Amino acid sequence: MFDDVLIESAGKDRKKGGWKTVLISAFLHIVIIGAVVAAGLYVKKNPEIITKPIQAFVVSAPPPPPPPPPPAASHASTPHVEQQTPQTHPTFHQPTRTPREVPQVDVPTESWEEWSEERSAALSAAKSEGNLAAPATSRCGLAVT
């Protein structure tokens, strides 16, 4: 395929090696695979060959540095011990019964149309005053034009 593209080999359509290369390659593969199988069989018949343990190079970590010397005492006085009061942390428990009334929360009920009208009015005012420094974004983060 690439022989036709190269200028040096254009027009030359000859076989490289032929059956001689196949025979040499097959012979070398058989010899290598046979040597691996023969070595495995030899070790299986003579296990005393591999009784010597494998030696590994293991290095231990250096000892830790000595601790720093204690600070020098400035004056001999009795240590002041503070009384600590135990602090209780609030714990949350699962309710044992369902309340009859659900607490109401004030949520702004502004609709999308109301919000967008307010936003566009604010943008047009900012554009007319020249105070628009960065592009405005909507609630989802997209730029509003």
User: pLDDT tens-digit profile of 7-56?
Assistant: 666 556 556 667 888 899 999 999 999 999 999 999 899 888 776 666 77
Average pLDDT of the segment spanning 84-105: 78
* Number of Cβ atoms within 10 Å of the Cβ of 3: 13
Cα separation, 130 vs 124, whole angstroms: 10
pLDDT digits (tens, 9 = 90+) for 101-121: 877 777 666 677 777 888 888
pLDDT reported for residue 31: 98
More confident residue, 137 or 91: 91
User: pLDDT at residue 88 above 70?
Assistant: yes
0.75 exceeded by the pTM? no
| 80-105 core/surface letters (b: 16 or more CB in 10 A; e: else) | eeeeeeeeeeeeeeeeeeeeeeeeee
